[in-house]
């Protein structure tokens, strides 16, 4: 007995699925859509996702903030301006609140306050003390004598400004400057440290 299966009937073409007709939005709907505030998913900063409570900041900013908040001025005075400098360290003005601690050795100090008249006899010692301080270091010229000789501008034996022998960062004018002026000088120095943080490194 022989035979074969009947051939399958040809498949009839099927109609494509019906696409619902797009309805035009009414004007009110369009206006409501326009006025609806769009909310973006802003996500979270990486430090919030990975380590909550960790603050990211450039290293030079952190180092500069540490430096400006822990200045150690070298304790030495040259003339009457030194009395005002000493008064600034006392409790009434209280430099400690800025993290400023007087230090009696140039090996650890990072600020030199030139407070008083710099005679040419004293100038080499001032320069030597400056060179013994480690980098980075800053100098405040306190008073008219340290800035340009002050009342001794015609005296041959007086240096006409300490910036003739060492670089000066902040000038505090006055004869003598009051403690508030020296405090202002320190604040100016702190701003300078922050401003020059990239250059100092
Ligand atoms: S500036 Fe005036 S107060 Fe200061 S050391 Fe000179 S003379 Fe004295």
Whether ligand 1 lies within 6 angstroms of the CB of 185 is answered as: no
Whether ligand 1 lies within 6 angstroms of the CB of 172 is answered as: no
Task: Decide the pairing of beta strands 170-172 and 138-142.
Answer: parallel
Q: How far is the CA of 50 from the centre of ligand 1 (A)?
A: 58
Whether ligand 1 lies within 6 angstroms of the CB of 106 is answered as: no
% residues pLDDT > 70 (the chain): 86
What is the band of 47 on the pLDDT scale with cuts at 50, 70, 90? low
What is the band of 2 on the pLDDT scale with cuts at 50, 70, 90? very low
**What are the angstrom distances between the C-alpha of 59 and each of 67, 119, 190, 201?**
12, 41, 17, 9
Atom of ligand 1 nearest to the CA of 176: 3
Whether ligand 1 lies within 6 angstroms of the CB of 117 is answered as: yes
**What are the angstrom distances between the C-alpha of 138 and each of 84, 102, 112, 173?**
20, 14, 6, 17
Instruction: Flag whether pLDDT at 39 surpasses 80.
Output: no
Per-residue model confidence (pLDDT) at position 197: 83
Q: Is 80 exposed, middle or buried (0-12, 13-18, 19+ CB in 10 A)?
A: middle
Average pLDDT over residues 98-108: 92
Per-residue model confidence (pLDDT) at position 139: 96
Cβ neighbors of 192 (< 8 A, separation 6 or more) are: 138, 169, 170
Distance CA 169, CA 147 (A): 11
Mutate to test the pocket of ligand 1, among 161, 162, 176, 182 (most ligand atoms within 8 A of CB): 176
Whether ligand 1 lies within 6 angstroms of the CB of 193 is answered as: no
């Amino acid at each position: 007995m022989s035979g074969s299966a009947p051939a399958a009937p040809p498949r009839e073409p099927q109609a494509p699925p019906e696409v619902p007709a797009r309805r035009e939005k009414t004007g009110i709907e369009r206006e409501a859509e326009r006025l609806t505030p769009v909310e973006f998913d802003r996500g979270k900063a990486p430090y919030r996702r990975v380590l909550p409570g960790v603050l990211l900041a450039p290293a030079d900013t952190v180092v500069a903030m540490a430096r400006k908040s822990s200045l150690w001025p070298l304790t030495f005075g040259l003339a009457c301006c030194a009395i005002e400098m000493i008064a600034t360290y006392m409790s009434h003005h209280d430099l400690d609140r800025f993290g400023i601690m007087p230090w009696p050795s140039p090996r650890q100090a990072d600020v030199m306050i030139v407070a008083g008249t710099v005679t040419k006899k004293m100038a080499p010692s001032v320069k030597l003390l400056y060179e013994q301080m480690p980098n980075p270091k800053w100098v405040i010229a306190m008073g008219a004598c340290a800035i340009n000789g002050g009342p001794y501008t015609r005296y041959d034996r007086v240096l006409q400004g300490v910036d003739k022998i060492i670089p000066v960062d902040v000038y505090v004018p006055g004869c003598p400057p009051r403690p508030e002026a020296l405090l202002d000088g320190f604040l100016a120095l702190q701003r300078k440290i922050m401003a020059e943080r990239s250059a100092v490194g």
